[in-house]
Structure 1
Amino acid sequence: MLRPLTPPAKFSLHPLLLALGLAGASWAQAAAEPQPVELQAADEPLRLRPVRLLTPPGAPGQQSKPALVLSARALQAQVDQQAQAEGAVELRYGDLLLRADTLSYQMPTDLARAEGGVELSRNGSVVRGPSVQLFVDRFEGEFAQPSYFFSQTGGGGQARSLHFLGPQRLRAEAATYSSCPAVEPGQTPAWELSARTLRMDFEANEGLATGAVLRFQGLPILAAPALSFPLGSERKSGWLPPDVGLDKRSGFELGLPYYWNIAPQRDATLTPFVMTRRGVGLDSEFRYLEPHHKGQLNLAWLPWDRVAERKRWALNLANAGELGPGWLYRLQAERVSDDDYWKDLPKRISSPTQRLLASDLQLSRSRSFAWGEASSYARVQQWQLLQGTDPAARFESPYQRSPQIGMRLSTAADEGVLAGFIPWGRQARLEGSLELEYNRFDLPREALSSQLMTGERVHALGHVSLPMGGAAWWLIPKLSVNAASYALDRPLADGRRSAGRTVPGFSVDHGWILERQTRFFGRELQQTLEPRLLYVNTAYRDQSRLPNFDAAPKDFNFDSIYTENQFSGVDRVSDAHQLTAGVTTRWLESERGEELLRLGLVQRYRFRDQQLTPDGLPSTQKFSDLLLLGSAHLSQRWWLDGALQYNPDSGRNVRTSLRARYSPGAYRTLSAAYRLVRDQSEQLELGWQWPLFGAAAAREQTRSLNDAASGGVGCKGGGAWYSAGRLQYSLKDRRLTDSVVGVEYDAGCWILRMGAERLSTGRAETNTRLLLQLEFVGLSRLGSNALGVLRDNIPGYRQLSDPRSSNRSYD
């Protein structure tokens, strides 16, 4: 803040426009006879308002240089030539503020020389030293023996000299850089980068240190003739921090990634690596983003694996784009060299199903008309199965589509109805859709020998509906049909090579949304009551002898119970004569609309026995399992939710899912979950991020202005230890399954993460990986991707360096 003066010594000079001499005379007169100011108390001194930018008034949109404002206890001025100021000198020019004991300013050359306790601040950055010479408008000059702090990076240091090369560039000689707090004379920060020359180009997002040495706790851990680093989250070519890993299958792994910023729309990362047990290899990634195309290519290459005694590789493609007007394509493909790759090198597989890798090429085109939309599409889908040598671990393959060709027609707004759209106040009108599709189904070579059926299918799916509704209700009667015809490569049990069936159906979906104002726990709330009925009548057609290429039972939950068919896909259509009835009630905050509590239950009643069921056995049960759900967020600290599937005939719950999370503040979260599937699995899960001991309170405070001005951030009172992890325990198998446990030490300007990750690779096999990462806040991270592992596994996890790091992106 600018220091108040009584009487004020104030100049508002635009270079070469205002005469310093006249301003000096005005100051002398004001000192002798202070003049009252309107709306200012007579005994209250005038104050300069501490704003970032002072500009003379002008017409809107008029561009002009900012004004130069100079204040001091004593000042001598010569018109259009120079000014000499002494005592608490402050010079302000736009967003530049210069403080010193003495200052001389040459107006013809725009050169300011300041000495004695010099402090220069601009855009949040601060530089201090004994003297500076600065061309004010160009922001070019030299600072002698400065200390500095850069707000763009959150770090600073000291140098023999600092040269300003413009508003966005500088060069420091014999310089140091760190984000650690200022220390006592003679001491060194916890980590420090020293360089013979340090260049920073904030416009190009590039820092370059020549003759660089990175020291941690006084010990050199990295040295390079030239070291470049980004100054923010933008991209920049250069060597990235090493990747370090350790697991029991591959041993110690060290990778040295190089990032190549090829163009604004293209980049690549090449990572040569060495594994102590397996050998030397290369990971590579290429990305592009063109006006009509985007994609990514990953290739991992291990020329010779000493353990497996063969070459190993993994390829992953992900591309999408536009081939012409309205024609869109998408290609996703992943392949690996062998069946054991998912066990030995799992982090190089991106598929969520690591033993089932897809190759999928799709082409589509959509056109809109006054009556609705028409779309045509083609697809080829292939699979690679990683079966392995254990016969008990082999699994059935999904069918490949070689190819799939189809067309869909839908009336306007029909897709919204199918997705559960509630037609508020719409006029009733007929809507419908029609899908015609051809598929050729075959099997990959890794499929089980028991899988023999292949062939072709042509199907037609259609429906017509009459949606109607008002402000609080909807009613949707619908007629539908599912027809399919098959041509098979092998004969069916009755000797036929062709077959077909047509299944008609009728349904009525009806629901209400009722609201009322209420109070709960002393809070004004809005409560809803949402009953819903779904009547379905689908004819029975015997499909037991027909092939099943793509149908699978749907999961029984609160969403799937409100569907007409219990199967996904086309090949199976469940017969039904049933009514599904359910109700949901919610409590919402009246002002913000936040949901505090939700309760619901739903059950299905069958008017006749169901012949075609997911388990293959006819169902004579009149009432289905009862589904109950609940969720609560009654306070900012607690989240609770659960779901229960209860069988009224056996009197036991079939499935249970309960979850709770407690988060009393930042970096404090506890979560627990219990999951039960009767006769299949029973699991407990515990996740957490919590301070153990140390300066935890200091860790939660954001950086203050004083910290920024002193060139440091972080915990001034010491570091803090945090624990983070997630444990999964199988009550049925009585063992830990996929789990991760780690600890983090936050010293303010650096963070250490250590931990272990355990992954199941079979019924009795696991792979354990050690995690070690050292993050220098405001510079970079060294080691394995521990941060990414913790973030992906722990509900509510928050990165410790979020408020301080200039680059908050994850690894």
Structure 2
Amino acid sequence: MQIRYFLAVCLLSNTFLASQAVHADEALPHCVINPPISTSVNERETVSGVKEQDIVIISDTSHAEMDQKAYFAGDVSFSQGSRHIAADEALIDQQKQQLNANGNLVFQDSLFTVTADSLVAQMENNSAKLKGAKYWLHGQQVNGDAQELEITNKNDLILLDSNFTTCPPESQSWLLEAKKIRIDSDEEWGEIWDAKLRIADIPVMYIPYMTVPISDKRKSGFLFPSFSTSTTNGVEISTPYYWNIAPEYDLTFTPDFMSSRGLFLKTEFRYMNSPDQAGQVNVEYLSKDQKLNNSPDRYVFHWSHKGKIDDNWRVLANFTDVSDNNYFNDLSSDVNRATDNQLSRIGEASYFEKDWDLSLRVQDIKVLGEEDKPYQVMPQLSFNYRNTNIWNHLDFKFNSEVTNFSHQDNDFSTATRVHMAPSLVLPVHSPFGSFTSEMKLMQTNYWQQPTATDADLSSTVSRTIPQLSLNGKINFERDSTLLSSPYRQTFEPQFQYLYVGYQNQSDIGIYDSAQLQEDYFGLFRDRRFSGLDRIADANQMTLGFTTRLFDQSNQEKMKFSVGQIFYFDDSNVLREQSISPQEQSTSVLAAELDSQIYNDWFVSASMQHDTEKGENKKSQATLDYRPSVGKLIQFSYRYVPDLVNNNTNDKVNISQAGMRTTWPMTDDLYFVGNWYYDLNERRSIETYAGIQYESCCWAVRLSYHYNIKTNYDDDLNPGIDTREEFEKGVYLNFVIKGLGGSGPLGVEDMLNEGLFNYRKPLYLRN
């Protein structure tokens, strides 16, 4: 017989911690830890009229003396709100305000489960002690044992002679044993004293004191160190320290010791003044680089900021300064990759309305390894206006800017440019196609201050150029069959007629303009140059088409595009710039292909072919085998002729082949490898091999790198070249999940290690 016994007292109110959770992203689907569930708790009866603070006690038998003691036995269940205790027997002493329970004891909360041999709870001060406890955190991987587990009246948790791990109880790859563990409910961090770290039941480290995260709340402390060795830096050990300054500020300080260079100090400061205002500051410094002959000091400073002031205003800032051209090639910076050679310094404030926007911008670009410095934009004011359907579906647009160009070198001319471009656009769209006609008038005025080296430039220039473009596209569809499989095939021919008037522009300096590349989509641009200093005259027709194949699930299986420009007149501006000295009747023939050729095989290719000279201007192709998630084999080839070497200004042909793979050797063991070969130089330019083991509670990665280095000319070692052409090294990364590491190691970031990122085969290095 079950007896219901009600006490209007508050037992273990707010017991345990309000929040006990480790980082959710450290829990993996294949590593689920299920705590024991009490049958008596699950099957307890619902009692109407019970308040949240009341205690409901259910048992097979009971005996009670008024205001004295109450004894319960047989599937005893104590319930108060979301907290439940199940035991074989329990005793409540109302005079001592004490609860004793033992026998198959299970304590459950919405956040955790604890089993124990016995429980003693003091109802007066809301504290409790459990002997022989085992604990689990719900929805997390944290679990462990404790000889004694105490719940204080401040809701803190104290564990004596305890341990914890994020591994399943049946497979504990690592275990942290400690004399004392204290979990603070307010700070949501655990403090550990006199601890030993065991891996595969072997003690590997003694830790007198440490803190670990119990929730996603940040706390100051050391992060896991990393270790590597390479031919350029020697043995390298970094020990990052994280400082949680305030909820809206934090800082990571990383001393990085390199045996070949010295002590490399890296600091990253992040701030978030509000959800709409955030940024970071990086400062890196290496005092007296021992690898270089004259032992120079090397540094980098970086600041980036993005912000929203209100619904209309946006601000943006990005500034980077570096001590020398080869900084990112020699050192493992947190700011830039070694393959990035442009440092952008931008400050911008923008105001947006529905029909118009206004922005003020300053910009300076530093190109590493280049002697000629680009012009600075100091400043640029832009105004854009748009009005749709002003008359009979006719749209009106007005783009304008006022830009002042300055230069750090007094030998270069400076200028102020005012540009205005009103346009009328008539768009016609329907399911079977589209036709867009646009008339534009481009008015540009320059006020230049020529120098002796630019004596042919005019002090004032007024340029007026009209432009007309007609762009049409038709969509055809049909049912088709390929290799006995039904498909829906589209055929999308597209044309563009472009007329741009001519005006001699040789008396205008080059401040922000460069020739654009001609891929398939570039054939349909209305300009040949970036910037506005050169507007190429044109009288041309672009013809192209795209065809696609869709399966019965409407998934695109193939896309092929090809097109070419036919010139009715030669471009005088291109001839004056010596870009196209000979007459050309056509542009390159540009083609692109993406296709799933069969089951798990995919091909991607692009080409730009000069049909008049019979030469390839650029081509690339990749063949992928992707049978499932996490499995990849990719073969690639790329070719670019007449590419200018930044160091020597010589023209070189790039002809490179490569292979990339990632493959699971077991459920937890992955292999990732890259290999790229220069067919012209007949040498390997990059080799990468990495093996990663990752379980639900720890991960380790061992990798080997061998790659060519880019070395720019600089004045750190004038006349002396001490840098190695190739770099090779071994790197070891180790993470124990749940001890404040940087999280699980990912296979995807291994694919992006090295010079060539996955799925970006056109990235070139010379």
TM-score normalized with structure 1 length? 0.75
Alignment correspondent of 2:231: 248
Alignment correspondent of 2:394: 429
Unaligned runs of 5+ in 2: 10-37, 643-652, 712-723, 759-766
Alignment correspondent of 2:283: 299
- Find the residue that maps to 1:561 and give its secondary structure: helix
Are the equivalent residues in 1 in contact too, given 2:136–2:144 (CA < 8 A)?
yes
Are the equivalent residues in 2 in contact too, given 1:54–1:67 (CA < 8 A)?
no
Q: Map 1:518-667 to 2 at 5 A.
A: 527-544=489-506, 546-588=508-550, 594-613=555-574, 616-618=579-581, 620-633=583-596, 637-651=600-614, 653-667=616-630
Alignment correspondent of 1:173: 160
Alignment correspondent of 1:129: 116
> CA distance change for structure 1 residues 580 and 153 in 2, over 3 Å: closer, same or farther?
same
Alignment correspondent of 1:733: 681
> CA distance change for structure 1 residues 254 and 588 in 2, over 3 Å: closer, same or farther?
same
Alignment correspondent of 2:247: 264
Q: How far off its partner does 1:264 sit?
A: 1.6
Q: How far off its partner does 1:574 sit?
A: 2.1
> CA distance change for structure 1 residues 688 and 437 in 2, over 3 Å: closer, same or farther?
same
State the alpha-carbon separation in 1 of the partners of residues 134 and 124 from structure 2. Answer: 22
Q: Which amino acid aligns with 2:658?
A: E
> Structure 1 residue 333 and structure 2 residue 319: aligned?
yes
Tell me whether 427-436 or 47-56 shows the greater mean CA deviation: 47-56
2:710 to 748, 762, 766: 762
State the alpha-carbon separation in 1 of the partners of residues 364 and 240 from structure 2. Answer: 32
Q: How far off its partner does 1:659 sit?
A: 2.6
> CA distance change for structure 1 residues 95 and 687 in 2, over 3 Å: closer, same or farther?
farther
1:367-398 C-alpha deviation (Å, 9 max, x unpaired): 45xxx21414242x2344543xxxxxx55432
State the alpha-carbon separation in 1 of the partners of residues 358 and 633 from structure 2. Answer: 48
Alignment correspondent of 1:709: none
Tell me whether 648-657 or 463-472 shows the greater mean CA deviation: 648-657
State the alpha-carbon separation in 2 of the partners of residues 634 and 538 from structure 1. Answer: 42
> Structure 1 residue 480 and structure 2 residue 440: aligned?
yes
Q: Map 1:350-361 to 2 at 5 A.
A: 350=336, 354-361=340-347
1:399 to 337, 357, 375: 375
State the alpha-carbon separation in 2 of the partners of residues 510 and 53 from structure 1. Answer: 72
Alignment correspondent of 2:662: 689
Alignment correspondent of 1:382: 364
Alignment correspondent of 1:793: 753
Alignment correspondent of 2:763: none
Q: How far off its partner does 1:210 sit?
A: 1.9
- Find the residue that maps to 2:533 and give its secondary structure: coil
Q: How far off its partner does 1:528 sit?
A: 4.2
> CA distance change for structure 1 residues 338 and 655 in 2, over 3 Å: closer, same or farther?
closer
Q: Percent identity?
A: 23
> CA distance change for structure 1 residues 169 and 519 in 2, over 3 Å: closer, same or farther?
farther
State the alpha-carbon separation in 1 of the partners of residues 124 and 493 from structure 2. Answer: 70
1:502-553 C-alpha deviation (Å, 9 max, x unpaired): 3221101222345567787898866544332211111233334532221112
Alignment correspondent of 1:116: 103
State the alpha-carbon separation in 1 of the partners of residues 45 and 595 from structure 2. Answer: 52
State the alpha-carbon separation in 2 of the partners of residues 611 and 136 from structure 1. Answer: 94
Q: Which amino acid aligns with 1:131?
A: S
Are the equivalent residues in 1 in contact too, given 2:512–2:531 (CA < 8 A)?
yes
Are the equivalent residues in 2 in contact too, given 1:239–1:258 (CA < 8 A)?
yes
Alignment correspondent of 1:809: none
> CA distance change for structure 1 residues 793 and 339 in 2, over 3 Å: closer, same or farther?
closer
State the alpha-carbon separation in 1 of the partners of residues 700 and 421 from structure 2. Answer: 57
TM-score normalized with structure 2 length? 0.79
Q: How far off its partner does 1:115 sit?
A: 2.0
State the alpha-carbon separation in 2 of the partners of residues 533 and 137 from structure 1. Answer: 85
Tell me whether 780-789 or 278-287 shows the greater mean CA deviation: 780-789
Q: Map 1:466-477 to 2 at 5 A.
A: 466-477=426-437
- Find the residue that maps to 1:733 and give its secondary structure: coil
> Structure 1 residue 408 and structure 2 residue 394: aligned?
no
State the alpha-carbon separation in 1 of the partners of residues 528 and 95 from structure 2. Answer: 85
Q: How far off its partner does 1:619 sit?
A: 5.6
RMSD: 4.1
Alignment correspondent of 1:275: 258
Alignment correspondent of 2:32: none
Are the equivalent residues in 2 in contact too, given 1:468–1:474 (CA < 8 A)?
yes
State the alpha-carbon separation in 2 of the partners of residues 358 and 792 from structure 1. Answer: 23
State the alpha-carbon separation in 1 of the partners of residues 614 and 5 from structure 2. Answer: 88
> CA distance change for structure 1 residues 206 and 647 in 2, over 3 Å: closer, same or farther?
same
Alignment coverage as a number of residue pairs:
699
Alignment correspondent of 1:27: none
Are the equivalent residues in 1 in contact too, given 2:2–2:61 (CA < 8 A)?
no
1:126-167 C-alpha deviation (Å, 9 max, x unpaired): 333322235799985222122223345413222221123489
Are the equivalent residues in 1 in contact too, given 2:40–2:75 (CA < 8 A)?
no
1:564-589 C-alpha deviation (Å, 9 max, x unpaired): 11211111222221222222233446
Q: Which amino acid aligns with 1:659?
A: T
Tell me whether 346-355 or 724-733 shows the greater mean CA deviation: 346-355
State the alpha-carbon separation in 2 of the partners of residues 107 and 266 from structure 1. Answer: 50
Q: Which amino acid aligns with 2:344?
A: A
Q: How far off its partner does 1:334 sit?
A: 0.9
State the alpha-carbon separation in 2 of the partners of residues 662 and 279 from structure 1. Answer: 44
> CA distance change for structure 1 residues 339 and 647 in 2, over 3 Å: closer, same or farther?
closer
State the alpha-carbon separation in 1 of the partners of residues 602 and 708 from structure 2. Answer: 29
